[in-house]
Structure 1
Amino acid sequence: MGVSTSVPEEGGVAVVTVDFPPVNALPVQGWYDLATAVRTAGADPKVRCVVLTATGRGFNAGVDIKEMQRTDGHGALIGANRGCYEAFAAVYDCEVPVVAAVHGFCLGGGIGLVGNADAIVASDDAAFGLPELDRGALGAATHLARLVPQHLMRTLYYTSRTVTAQELHRHGSVWRVVPRAQLLNAALELAREIAAKDGSLIRLAKAAINGIDPVDVRRSYRFEQGFTFEANLSGVADRHRDAFVSSASTSPISSKSSKEDRS
């Protein structure tokens, strides 16, 4: 259990794997560990591309709300916010391209990770969304806006609905959709194609593309986080988190899909 990194293969690809059963809802330390793993892999001169993947039922279910609710004071909340910020920034600032291999559910903090990745390969059962308003939180609209057009982002955010991998593929934000059994191989295939480029040039290319980004994702996300603190100080966030914890036996992907809305 935790975050592990494979020994870079001869072709220059490293795989960072997240494993926090049962649903990959990461505790505070897990976000920091993920940030360290991605940064370390990207700094390795033998690595020219990183694949970010996960084991278990889904790619990522966001923060561990149970940890937050059983911790007195605001320590866990502050830790989760800072940890998410570090992990998202680590993916974005990774010295080499990051390919996210997404299966099952990708919720909350998962959107922050894939929204900052350079490319996304997804299984045909993958669903993406921000249930933040149902969990007493705000944030990651910055990253959802990198996956879908502005008005769809707002609708998904306000309704807590999810969008399928196939829909994101139509929007151009998911590179390829494959059966789950083929996911890792498909992600590695793309990563190896990227890693076949000159290592120095691929690092320059990553820095150049980040440099022309129209939105500073670190600053934008930090701005969003301020409203999460406001929700906590008002007490409304605790009410929603308590309600979620009391019904935690339900599926973490209970949000309706956006496809249902448009059918």
Structure 2
Amino acid sequence: MGVSTSSPEKGISVVTVDFPPVNALPVRGWFELADAVRGAGRDPSVGCVVLAAEGRGFNAGVDIKEIQAAGRRALIGANQGCAEAFAAVYECEVPVVAAVHGFCLGGGIGLVGNADAIVASDDATFGLPELDRGALGAATHLARLVPQHLMRALYYTSRTATAAELRAHGSVWKVVPRAELPAAALELAREIAAKDARLIRLAKAAINGVDPVDVRRSYRFEQGFTFEANLDGVADELRDTFGKPETKGSEGGTG
């Protein structure tokens, strides 16, 4: 259990997240993920990183139960950890391909929204249930996946979009049956990693340099409103309903 790194082929590093039962990451998990992605990107033999997950879904956001148990300190840690993990994906020295299956919620959107490419299984769904979990954030990253008005509607309603719908908007490279997801992600990573290692790193830096949105600053701005919601008490009220029969769902879903 945790975050592991493997090298299935020359030039490709696979960072895999495994936090049962639903990949709702604890504070330490976000920092472990950030370290693993940055480490893979710094390896001169790596030309592409694949970000994958084991279990029922790709990512269910932060571990709300940890925040409920540990209070403000865990909330601050989760926010800092998410920011570092999202930034690690975006700032990775080589392209990052996200291989998404099942649910991709909350912090999961922050990861895939900052990835360079997304390959998804046909059962994958993407969404931000933040308003239902007493939090705000990752609209920065959802806006990189869908058009502005759809982003707003999804954010306000906490609804999800399917992998097929995201592919129609051009943000998902390929949608495949779940059993074919690892091979499809490796296929794209292999094509990227086959490029000249020096040029692919320059290309990543160049593309980030012309990005119209400073994703780190934008997400940090959003986080300020999460803290405001906590100071006001509304966040605690919503988190206290988490896990009750009428609201029971995944264990996470915030970023």
**Aligned equivalents of 2:208 and 2:19: distance in 1?**
30
Runs of 4+ in 1 over 3 A off after TM superposition: 245-251
- TM-score normalized by the length of structure 1: 0.94
Distance of aligned partners of 1:8 and 1:43 in 2 relative to their CA distance in 1, 3 Å threshold: farther
| CA deviation after TM superposition for structure 1 residue 8, in Å | 5.9
Is the CA contact (8 Å cut-off) linking 1:66 and 1:245 kept in structure 2? no
| CA deviation after TM superposition for structure 1 residue 242, in Å | 1.2
Distance of aligned partners of 1:249 and 1:3 in 2 relative to their CA distance in 1, 3 Å threshold: farther
Name the Cα RMSD after superposition: 1.4
Out of 197, 220, 223, the position equivalent to 2:221 is 223
> Which residue in 1 is equivalent to 2:2?
2
**Aligned equivalents of 1:215 and 1:130: distance in 2?**
20
Q: 1:5-20, aligned counterparts within 5 Å? A: 5-7=5-7, 9-10=9-10, 12-20=11-19
Percent of aligned pairs sharing the same letter: 80
Q: Which has the higher contact order (CA 8 A, sep 6+)?
A: 2
Count of equivalent residues: 252
* Structure 1 unaligned regions, length at least 5: 256-263
| CA deviation after TM superposition for structure 1 residue 247, in Å | 4.2
> Which residue in 1 is equivalent to 2:55?
56
**Aligned equivalents of 2:83 and 2:227: distance in 1?**
14
* Structure 2 unaligned regions, length at least 5: none
**Aligned equivalents of 1:31 and 1:248: distance in 2?**
29
**Which deviations, in whole Å up to 9, do the C-alpha atoms of 1:18-48 show, x marking residues without a partner?**
0000000000000000000000000000000
**Aligned equivalents of 2:186 and 2:118: distance in 1?**
11
Is the CA contact (8 Å cut-off) linking 2:242 and 2:248 kept in structure 1? no
Is the CA contact (8 Å cut-off) linking 2:241 and 2:247 kept in structure 1? no
**Aligned equivalents of 2:186 and 2:214: distance in 1?**
28
> Which residue in 2 is equivalent to 1:210?
208
**Which deviations, in whole Å up to 9, do the C-alpha atoms of 1:180-233 show, x marking residues without a partner?**
000010000000000000000000000000000000000000000000000000
Name the SS of the counterpart of 1:63 in structure 2. Answer: coil
> Which residue in 2 is equivalent to 1:260?
none
The answer to whether residue 85 in structure 2 is matched with residue 87 in structure 1 is yes
Q: 1:1-263, aligned counterparts within 5 Å? A: 1-7=1-7, 9-10=9-10, 12-72=11-71, 74-247=72-245, 250-252=248-250
Name the SS of the counterpart of 1:218 in structure 2. Answer: helix
Name the SS of the counterpart of 1:101 in structure 2. Answer: strand
